[in-house]
Structure 1
Amino acid sequence: MIGLINNTSAVSASAPIRAAQYLRMSTEHQRYSTENQAGAIQDYAAKNNIEIVRTYSDEGISGLTFEGRPGIRKMISDVESGNADYELILVYDVSRWGRFQDLDEGIYYMHHCKKAGVRVEFCGERFQNGGDIGSKIQLLVSNSSASDYSRVLSTKVHMGQTTLIKKGFRQGGPAGFGLRRLLVDDSGNAKFQLRRLEHKSIQTDRVVLVPGPPEEITVVRRIYADFIERGLTEQQIANRLNWEGVHTDLERPWTRSTVRQVLTNEKYIGNNVWNRRSFKLKTKRVQNDPALWVRADGVFESIIDPKLFNAAQKIIATRSHRPDNEEMLNALQRVLQRHGYLSGLIIDEADSCPSAGAYQSRFGSLLRTYKLIGYQPDRDYRYVDINRRLRQQYPGIITSIVSRVHETGARVRNDGASSMFIVNEEIRASLVLSRCHISTAGRKRWFIRFDTGLCADITIAARMEPEEACIKDFYILPALDCSGEKLRLFENNASELDVYRFDTLDALYHLVKRTRIKDII
C-alpha cells in the first residue's frame, strides 16, 4: 500500500481512531468493486491503528453528481448534524469520492467534513493526506484526473453509439407501440425478440426494430388515417382508442402526447434516429439541434408509408404555428366584416380564424377581445345564459334516456358524464343538444355538431325550443347517412333529413329492445 497518513502514520498503543469507510462502485472497472475497496481500506486501517465502525456505500452509481448518491448524502448529513461517531472517513482514492466535473465541488464536501471535525483520507493515493501545499496540489491534480476520465469516457461512448446507430442498431429504450426489439448476433443473424424490460446479455449482440403484432400495426395505420384523412386531433384519437379499450405498449391509456409520439417518430418509416436529447455527464437535459442528430435512414422495415408520415408532419407544423396578437385580431376583424356580427359559434365555424377558446385564453375573454377590434356585442350575454341552461339540462336528459333503454331489457353503458353511451355492446350513440338560433329575419335555425372523435353509430340531436325551455323534437341520425362535422337544420327540412325526425325517442327504444327468439318463432 503506497498511501501514507499524516497524523496517524505511526501506530501507537493508544486507543484506535474510530473511522467510517465510504465505498462507491460504478460499472467501468472490476478493480473498483466494493469488496476490493473494502479490503484495501481494511489493510490501511490495520497498519494505522484505525477501527472502522461504520460503512457508507453507493453501488452501481456514477460519481458525477452528489445528488444521486444516497450513501454519501447520508454520510455528509451525519457529519454535519453531529451524529457521526467517528473522526475519520476513509476512501480508497479520489475517484471513489467522486468524478465531479466542477473540481471545487469535491473539495467543498471535504471542507464541510473538516469543519465538523471529521477528516477525509485516501488510502490508495500516492500523496500524503496532509494539509501542506504539496498535498493540496496533488489532491487537485487527482480531482482533475478523475474528472477528465469521465469526460474522455463520455466522448468514447458517444462515438461508439454513433457508429452503432449508423449501422442500423437500436440504442436503448422501448420499441414503441406497433414495433418490437429483435436481438441479433454480431453477424446480424436473428436470435429472438426481447420482451419488455429484457436486455441483451452478450456484449457483441445488437438490437434492431421489427414490425410488431398485426393488430398493433393496424392501430398505428388507423392513427395516421384518422389524423390525415379524417382531420381528428391527437386528443380525439386518444379518446377513441381509450373508449375502445386499446392500451399503449406500456399498458397505459392513450394521451395526446403518446399519439403525437406515434405521429412524429421516424422509426415508423424505418429510420434510426438518435441524440435528439443530451444528458451528458449528468448535466441538464437539453434538446439538440437537428444538425447534431445521428441518423441512418431506411434501416428498419417500415410500417407507415413515408408519404403519409411527411403529410402528418406538415399538418403538425401548420397546427403548431402560433399567431401573434395582431394576426389573431386581424383574422377576427375579417370574420366580423364577413358576417356583420360575432359570437362564439361564428368564430368556431370560421375556417380562417382561431377558435373562440384561443381568443379567451390569449386576451382573457371574448368581450375583451371584441373591444380590441372595436366591436360592441349585443347578444353574447344572452348566449352565455343559454349555454349554462343547456349544460344544466344535459345530465338529466342522459339519465332519462339510459333509464328508458334499461326498461326495454337492453344493456347500456355510460359513465354518467360523457355524451356517449353503448347499447347491447353493439350500438354507439351520442347525444347532442342544439339550441335554437333566431336570425335577423326571425327564422329559426339549429346547428348540429358531430363529435367525430367518438365515432358514434347514431347521433341523437335534440332540437331545443327558443330560450331552451324544453326539447322540441329529436333527429336520430345514423353515421352512414350523415357525413361531415356539422349539420344545419331549419324549421322545415328536405324529406331525406326529416325522415330521421321524431317527436319522441320511442323509435330508438323500439330499435334497441331485446326480444326472445322463441317469441318470434
Structure 2
Amino acid sequence: MSSLNRTQNSDPPTSSIRAAAYVRMSTEHQQYSTENQLDTIRAYASENDLEIVRVYTDAGKSGLSLDGRDALQRLLGDIESRSANFTIVLVYDVSRWGRFQDPDVSASYEVRCRQAGVAIEYCAEQFRNDGSLSSAIVKQVKRSMAAEYSRELSVKVFAGQSRLIGLGFRQGGPAGYGLRRQLVDQHGNLKTVLEHGEQKSLQTDRVVLVPGPESEQRIVREIYRMFVEEGRAEREVAQILNERGQLPSPGHRWTRGAIHQILVNEKYAGHNVWNKTSGKLNERRVSNPEALWVRADNAFPALVEPLLFNAAQLIIQSRTKHLTDDQILDALRGLLARKGYLSGLLIDEEEECPSSSTFRSRFGSLLRSYSLIGYTPARDYAYIEANQRLRELYPQVLTSTIQRIQEVGAQVEVEESTQLLWISQEVRASIVLCRCQELPSGSLRWKIRFDAGLSPDLTIAVRMQPGELEARDYYVFPAMDQFAPKIRLAEANARELELYRFDTLDILSTLTRRVALPGAA
C-alpha cells in the first residue's frame, strides 16, 4: 500500500485533511466489492491523517463506459463546479476509474480532478501518485492492462455462453411473444416460470424457453396460417390482428416488422439460435454472418410445425428470388436516401425493401450489403469481424487442448466463469488466440496479451494464420516468464522468444504429464 510523505511540523496538526472516497464494483470481481474497497481506503485515510467526508459509490456498474455511473458523474460535477468540500479523492486502484478500451479515457478523469485542484491517491497500489515519470508509466501500463482484461474476458465469456447454447439453454433477452422463460436448476429439474423483467437469483440456475399462454400460442399459429395458407402479406396480417383486438400487449399494436420477426425466428420451430448480432465491450451492435451463429436444433418445444415453418421461409425467400442483386441493392439505396441511415429493424419495417434476412442470405451479411452500396457506418468493422472469427474458433481450440491433455492421463476441468483450464488440480492455463495483422509492407504481426487479471500458471498463445481460420503455431509461456503485459511478434523473432514457440500442442501434454519418482534409497 502506498503512503504519503507529508512535511511533519513540530506541533501536531489541528485538523485532518478532508477527502472523498470513490468505489466501483462490477459483477466480474467479487473480491473487489465496495465494502472491501472502503475498508482499504479507510485504513489508508487513518494512516495518513485524512478525514473521509463523502463516499461516492457505483455498485454493480461496468467499467467499460461512463454511462450509468451516476456516482462518478456526481464526483466530477462536484469537483469541477468547485462545490466539493474535500481536496483529495481516495480510490482503491487505477482500474476503479474504469476498464475503458481507450486507456486515455481513464486518465482524463484524473486530469479533470487535478485541474480543479483536487488530488488523486490510490490506496492499494504499490506506487505513489506523485506526478513523477515512474508513476505516470506505471499508471498507463495498469490502464492498458485493465482494458486488455476486459477484452480477454469477453472472449472467454463468449466461449462459455456458446457451450450453454449448445446444451439448449437461453442466453439473455426476452422470450418473445407466445413463449416464456423457465428456470432449470443445476440437476436439470424445472423450476418457476419467470415473468417479464424477472431474473434468476441463483448463479447455478439456467433458463430454457417453454410455450406461453395458449391464447398467445394460437395467435402465433394463426400468423403462420394466414401468411402461408391464405397468402397474406405481413402488413395485412398485422392489420387483421389489430382490427380483431388481438394485440401483442396492452397499448401496443402489431406492425409489419413484428409479424416478420415471428415468421423468421427459429425459436418458434424449437431451435435455439444465438449470436446473430453482437456488441462486445460497449461497442455498437452489428449483425453477424450465419457462419458465426451458435445454434442447437430442437432444443425446446416448437409452437409451429416444421412443415409450416419451412413453408414460411420458402415464401419469404421466393419473394426476392426473381430480383437481381442490383435490384435488391437499389432498394437498399432508396431506403438509405429516404432515412439517412440503415439498420436491420429499419429494413424489416420498410414495405418496398426486402427483409434484412434476405440481404444476409444473398450477400453474406448486412455489413457487406452496406459496403456494396457505399454505405459505411461510423467505424471500421474489420477488427470486429476478425475477433468474431476468433470467438468462433476458441471453443474448438479449447476442446482439442483438453483432449490432448487427457490422452496422457491428466485430469482437466474448465472454470466456467473464466474458461481457464485447471489441470490435475495443480496448473491453471489460459488460452489466448492472437489475431494476424498484415502491415502495408506485407509483413505479418501478432500481439500476445496476457491474462494478468486471472493469473494463470501457463499462457498458451495461438498465433493465427491470416484470415483467422486456422492456427499457425503456439507459444507457451510460464507465468514467471511473462515479463510484459503484452508482446508483439513478427514472423521471425529473437531467440529468447523462439524458445517458447512450438508447432503443435504436444509440448503441453509433456508439461502436464505425471511422472513417477523413484523411491528413496
TM over 0.5: yes
- State the match for 1:227 in structure 2: 227
Cα separation, partners in 2 of 1:168 and 1:325, compared to 1, 3 Å: closer
Kept in 1: contact 2:3–2:48 (CA 8 A): no
In the alignment, does 2:150 pair up with 1:150?
Answer: yes
In the alignment, does 2:116 pair up with 1:116?
Answer: yes
- State the match for 2:23 in structure 1: 23
- State the match for 2:312 in structure 1: 312
Please, which runs of 5 or more residues in structure 2 have no aligned partner?
329-350, 354-521
Cα separation, partners in 2 of 1:78 and 1:287, compared to 1, 3 Å: same
Q: What amino acid does structure 2 have at the position aligned with 1:281?
A: L
- State the match for 2:90 in structure 1: 90
Alpha-carbon distance in structure 1 between the residues aligned to 2:306 and 2:317: 16
Alpha-carbon distance in structure 2 between the residues aligned to 1:41 and 1:209: 45
Q: What amino acid does structure 2 have at the position aligned with 1:3?
A: S
Equivalent runs, 1:155-304 vs 2, <5 Å: 155-248=155-248, 252-304=252-304
- State the match for 1:105 in structure 2: 105
Relative contact order: is structure 1 or structure 2 higher (C-alpha 8 Å, sep ≥ 6)? 2
Report the secondary structure of 1:186's partner residue.
coil
Kept in 2: contact 1:179–1:211 (CA 8 A): yes
Alpha-carbon distance in structure 2 between the residues aligned to 1:313 and 1:121: 61
Q: What amino acid does structure 2 have at the position aligned with 1:145?
A: M
Kept in 1: contact 2:269–2:309 (CA 8 A): yes
String of CA shifts for 1:3-52, please: whole Å, max 9, x gaps. 22355899962542222211111122333222222222121112112122
In the alignment, does 2:113 pair up with 1:125?
Answer: no
Percent of residue pairs bearing the same amino acid type: 50
Kept in 2: contact 1:12–1:49 (CA 8 A): no
- State the match for 1:440 in structure 2: none
Cα separation, partners in 2 of 1:252 and 1:56, compared to 1, 3 Å: same
Kept in 1: contact 2:64–2:281 (CA 8 A): yes
Cα separation, partners in 2 of 1:322 and 1:140, compared to 1, 3 Å: farther
Q: What amino acid does structure 2 have at the position aligned with 1:136?
A: A
Cα separation, partners in 2 of 1:307 and 1:115, compared to 1, 3 Å: same
Report the secondary structure of 1:31's partner residue.
helix
String of CA shifts for 1:407-465, please: whole Å, max 9, x gaps. xxxxxxxxxxxxxxxxxxxxxxxxxxxxxxxxxxxxxxxxxxxxxxxxxxxxxxxxxxx
Query: Alpha-carbon deviation of 1:148?
Result: 2.2
Highest CA radius of gyration, 1 or 2?
A: 1
Kept in 2: contact 1:5–1:130 (CA 8 A): no
Alpha-carbon distance in structure 2 between the residues aligned to 1:95 and 1:34: 13
Report the secondary structure of 2:3's partner residue.
coil
- State the match for 2:459 in structure 1: none
- State the match for 2:66 in structure 1: 66
Cα separation, partners in 2 of 1:43 and 1:320, compared to 1, 3 Å: farther
Query: Alpha-carbon deviation of 1:195?
Result: 2.6
Cα separation, partners in 2 of 1:168 and 1:131, compared to 1, 3 Å: same
Q: What amino acid does structure 2 have at the position aligned with 1:125?
A: E
Alpha-carbon distance in structure 2 between the residues aligned to 1:155 and 1:327: 39
Alpha-carbon distance in structure 1 between the residues aligned to 2:267 and 2:290: 16
Query: Alpha-carbon deviation of 1:265?
Result: 0.7
Report the secondary structure of 2:248's partner residue.
coil
Kept in 2: contact 1:9–1:48 (CA 8 A): no
- State the match for 2:382 in structure 1: none
Give the TM-score normalised by the residue count of structure 2: 0.58
Report the secondary structure of 2:22's partner residue.
strand
Give the TM-score normalised by the residue count of structure 1: 0.58
- Name the count of aligned residue pairs: 330
Report the secondary structure of 2:218's partner residue.
helix
Query: Alpha-carbon deviation of 1:222?
Result: 0.9
Kept in 2: contact 1:226–1:232 (CA 8 A): yes
Q: What amino acid does structure 1 have at the position aligned with 2:90?
A: L
Cα separation, partners in 2 of 1:276 and 1:12, compared to 1, 3 Å: farther
Q: What amino acid does structure 2 have at the position aligned with 1:93?
A: D
- State the match for 2:2 in structure 1: 3
Cα separation, partners in 2 of 1:266 and 1:136, compared to 1, 3 Å: same
Report the secondary structure of 1:171's partner residue.
coil
Alpha-carbon distance in structure 2 between the residues aligned to 1:177 and 1:167: 23
Q: What amino acid does structure 2 have at the position aligned with 1:203?
A: Q
Query: Alpha-carbon deviation of 1:321?
Result: 7.8
- State the match for 2:39 in structure 1: 39
Equivalent runs, 1:401-480 vs 2, <5 Å: none
Please, which runs of 5 or more residues in structure 1 have no aligned partner?
329-356, 360-521
Report the secondary structure of 1:158's partner residue.
helix
Q: What amino acid does structure 2 have at the position aligned with 1:4?
A: S
String of CA shifts for 1:257-312, please: whole Å, max 9, x gaps. 22122111100111100111112111111111211111111111212123322332
- State the match for 1:499 in structure 2: none
Report the secondary structure of 1:150's partner residue.
helix
